[in-house]
Structure 1
Amino acid sequence: MPAKDIYHATVIQALIADGWTITDDPFYIAYGGRELYIDIGAEKVTIAAERGHEKIAVEIKSFLKPSPVSDLQEAVGQYEIYRTVLKELEPQRQIYLAVPKRVYEGIFSERFGQLIISSIGINIIVFDEQLQRIIRWIN
């Protein structure tokens, strides 16, 4: 079982405050003999949640490495793998990348980050780590 991200509890509280029910912590999927927790590494966690007919899987990223580009590369790679497998196994479930406000206001707001987000079509949840609230949903 992967280690939990430093913002794991924060994102859970933010989702609950936004009206979601946590259904899986972490969200486990298996495909082709491989097991995924949408939670790879010490600071990457995904939780699955439901609200009405909507089902989501959330990959939490801290972006704590010295290079935000390196963090973005890792996040995009994971996001794409998870989205591909979810499309096959649970096409009704949307995947989101949850990032702290400082990350969104940093590399994600730069021209470079905007190009990557829009070209790949990444769904993003921006959360305030102090208030433990979601401040923006980007689809």
Structure 2
Amino acid sequence: MSEFQKALGQYRIYKQVLSQLKPEVKVFLAIAESIYNKFFVGEGIQFIIEREEVAFFVVNLESEVIVKWIN
């Protein structure tokens, strides 16, 4: 959970700064597929993701392929 809190905090900072400096740029959080499948499917995490309007993509680290985009 602490890694998620850290990542979310960094995401929010980047999103706020870029909204002022480069509003045309959208920030995405990259998430490993294994972490997404274990952690990001929970109701609490989904609530936070929706409330904070977190855009992210899910990456298969073995194939280095993006398997899901969430805008």
Task: Identify the residue that residue 6 of structure 2 maps to in structure 1.
Answer: 74
Task: Identify the residue that residue 120 of structure 1 maps to in structure 2.
Answer: 52
Structure 1 unmatched runs, 5+: 1-68
Query: Which of 16, 30, 40 lines up with 1:108 in the alignment?
Result: 40
Structure 2 unmatched runs, 5+: none
Amino acid in the other structure paired with 2:9: G
Post-superposition offset of 1:107:
1.5
Pairing 1:94–2:32 present: no
SS in structure 2 of the partner of residue 95 of structure 1: coil
The 5 A counterparts of 1:5-84 are 69-84=1-16
Amino acid in the other structure paired with 2:42: E
Please provide the CA RMSD for this pair: 0.6
CA distance in 1, matches of 2:55, 2:64: 19
After the TM superposition, which parts of structure 1 deviate over 4 Å for at least 4 consecutive aligned residues?
none
Post-superposition offset of 1:103:
1.1
Instruction: Tell which has more relative contact order, 1 or 2 (C-alpha 8 A, sep 6+).
Output: 2
User: Could you tell me the percent identity over the aligned residues?
Assistant: 34
TM-score (norm 2): 0.96
TM-score (norm 1): 0.50
Query: Which of 47, 64, 71 lines up with 1:132 in the alignment?
Result: 64
CA distance in 2, matches of 1:130, 1:103: 13
Count of aligned pairs between the two proteins: 71
Post-superposition offset of 1:113:
1.0
Amino acid in the other structure paired with 1:81: I
